[in-house]
């Protein structure tokens, strides 16, 4: 049994295996209706709990569809409707759920909730986003990059904007998959220094460059995300917008990257804030491939967790 809590906590060979299996499973489904079962049904007779303490479109639907394609069943639970949201401990919730289900995916605020769930559950736990990280998203993004451009090892990824949870998981992935990452954004919204140090300790180049045009020079991939995440105070919205506006990804910024550079955004987007619609809908954008690949990447993650 394996938990999938974070990319830096997962062995690089296992991460590679997950990406490769995701690609294989995706290809095996080409041309089939979404509801058609996979040829192999590794989750047959398996019950999966999907717990959401924050809103979600992609994570909710892609996990649900993925489990069903692999022959399993799901229950989607809202944290506020569970006793968890009314004082029951995470440890007790984890022990109880482990008596009913074979796998738990949780989207929550505090990372401590995820780690406590994993500590006390006797079934695998998957991180469906915390305030600090979003590993499933970045697995889908690696799959997407490699489908379009081949191996990501040795490439230059530029993150423009807020050094948030999605950026943190990109930093973790840089160390594990061996690509370089340049962060460009205001100093108040830098990524966690601990995660920068961790990536550097694995031998990849991590740079912080305040000038966005300089940062994207030679980029193979430019990535951004919302300027106000679900865990950020709405009162900080205006200040964040003012600080982040110079880091908006527009056609002028993309022109400094390699001509074949891709553009990614995990979605949901605030169009024409963090990125212009011209870029989001342009030929370099792979945002909807990323969204689709959440399904395929997470199916492989679930199989790895359950060793099925």
Can 266 be counted among the known catalytic residues? yes
Can 73 be counted among the known catalytic residues? no
Residues 123-152, one symbol each (x = binds ligand NVA by CB under 6 A, - = not), give ------x-----------------------
21 annotated binding-site participant? no
Can 107 be counted among the known catalytic residues? yes
Q: How many residues form the binding site for ligand NVA (CB under 6 A)?
A: 9
Can 137 be counted among the known catalytic residues? yes
Q: Which of 77, 123, 166, 253 binds ligand NVA (CB under 6 A)?
A: 166
Please tell me which residue in 132, 180, 265, 266 is annotated as part of the active site. 266
User: Is 57 one of the binding residues for ligand CP (CB under 6 A)?
Assistant: yes
Between 208 and 230, CB nearer to ligand NVA: 230
Stretch that binds ligand NVA, among 20-28, 225-233, 234-242, 271-279 (CB under 6 A): 225-233
Residue 165 contact partner, candidates ligand CP, ligand NVA, none, CB within 5 to 8 A by sort of partner: ligand NVA
User: Is 59 one of the binding residues for ligand CP (CB under 6 A)?
Assistant: yes
The secondary structure of the chain as a DSSP string is ---B--GGGS-HHHHHHHHHHHHHHHHHTTT--TTSPPSS-TTTT-EEEEEESS--SHHHHHHHHHHHHTT-EEEEEEGGGSGGGGT--HHHHHHHHHHH-SEEEEE-SSHHHHHHHHHH-SS-EEE---SS--HHHHHHHHHHHHHHHS--TT-EEEEES---HHHHHHHHHHHHHT-EEEEES-GGGPPPHHHHHHHHHTT--EEE-S-HHHHTTT-SEEEE--SS-TTS-GGGHHHHHHHHGGG-B-HHHHTTS-TT-EEEE-S---BTTTB-HHHHTSTTB-HHHHHHHHHHHHHHHHHHHHT-
Active site residues: 107, 134, 137, 225, 266, 294
Residue ranges of the annotated binding site are 56-59, 83, 107, 134-137, 165, 225, 229-230, 266-267, 294
**Site residues for ligand NVA per CB under 6 A:** 129, 164-166, 225-226, 229-230, 266
């Amino acid at each position: 049994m394996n938990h999938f809590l974070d990319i830096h906590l997962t062995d690089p060979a296992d991460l590679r295996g997950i990406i490769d299996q995701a690609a294989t499973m995706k290809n095996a489904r080409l041309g089939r209706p979404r509801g058609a079962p996979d040829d192999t049904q590794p989750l047959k007779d398996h019950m999966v709990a999907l717990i959401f303490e924050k809103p979600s479109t992609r994570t909710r639907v892609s996990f649900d569809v993925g489990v069903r394609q692999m022959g399993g069943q799901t229950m989607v639970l809202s944290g506020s409707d569970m006793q968890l949201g009314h004082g029951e401990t995470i440890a007790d919730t984890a022990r109880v759920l482990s008596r009913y289900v074979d796998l738990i995916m949780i989207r929550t605020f505090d990372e401590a909730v995820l780690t406590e769930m994993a500590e006390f559950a006797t079934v695998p736990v998957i991180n469906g986003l915390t305030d600090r990280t979003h590993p499933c998203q970045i697995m889908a993004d690696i799959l997407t990059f490699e489908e379009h451009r081949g191996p990501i090892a040795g490439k230059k990824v530029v993150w423009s904007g807020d050094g948030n949870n999605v950026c943190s998981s990109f930093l973790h992935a840089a160390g594990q998959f061996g690509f370089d990452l340049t962060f460009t954004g205001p100093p108040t919204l830098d990524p966690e220094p601990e995660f920068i140090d961790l990536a550097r300790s694995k031998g990849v180049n991590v740079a912080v460059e305040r000038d966005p045009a300089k940062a994207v020079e030679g980029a193979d991939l430019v990535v951004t995300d919302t300027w106000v995440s679900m865990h950020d105070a709405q009162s900080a919205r205006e200040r964040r917008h003012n600080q982040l506006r110079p880091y908006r990804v527009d056609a002028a910024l993309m022109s400094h990257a390699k001509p074949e550079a891709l553009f990614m955004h995990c979605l949901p987007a605030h169009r024409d804030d963090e990125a212009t619609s011209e870029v989001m809908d342009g030929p370099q954008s792979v945002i909807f491939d990323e969204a689709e690949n959440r399904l395929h990447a997470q199916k492989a993650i679930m199989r790895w967790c359950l060793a099925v």
